[in-house]
Copies of this chain bind each other. A is one copy, B any other.
């Protein structure tokens, strides 16, 4: 089975990993009819967690890369929620992006754009989403970014 979305991801140099297991006693997603609620995904990749605090130990560009990693983890969970067939995706509905930053950091949109730009690049119009982007005091395990998401599938 060829997935159009996974081919497009491959063009972008992205292979979806196995959907990461939750860090605690909850589930990675809940599917209710067409809607999939995906738990907050923390920034990490094949080299491990992406930790850091924006405004202190990390540049905006590095933060945007961390946000992109969260988006990839969201798609990995979505694929799992779709029983392996991510082409069932209809729409990315809403993301909430939490940035680990100092109290004077004000470039949250540029950080979370790492996720938003990637989703639109990978998914086209289906990737266009509503979102909120805020800075939080801290994040699990010291990661730089956490993003949760609501998706619509067929």
Interface of A toward B, CB cutoff 8 Å:
23-30, 32, 37-40, 53, 55, 91, 93-96, 98, 101-110, 112-113, 116-117, 120, 128-142, 146, 148, 150, 152
Contacts and interface: CB of A to CB of B under 8 A. Distances in A.
12 contacts: A25-B116, A25-B117, A25-B120, A26-B129, A30-B128, A40-B131, A98-B132, A108-B140, A132-B148, A134-B138, A134-B140, A135-B139
A53 B135 CA distance: 13
Nearest to A36: B130
Contacts of A110: 24
Contact of A30 (B94, B104, B120, B142): B94
B134 A136 contact: yes
Contacts of A29: 130
B137 A102 contact: yes
The number of times this chain is found in the oligomer is: 3
Contacts of A112: 24
A129 B112 CA distance: 25
A138 B39 contact: no
Contact of A93 (B32, B140, B142): B32
Contacts of A91: 30, 32
A37 B150 contact: yes
A133 B37 contact: no
Nearest to A152: B32
A3 B35 CA distance: 29
Contact of A39 (B98, B105, B130, B140): B130
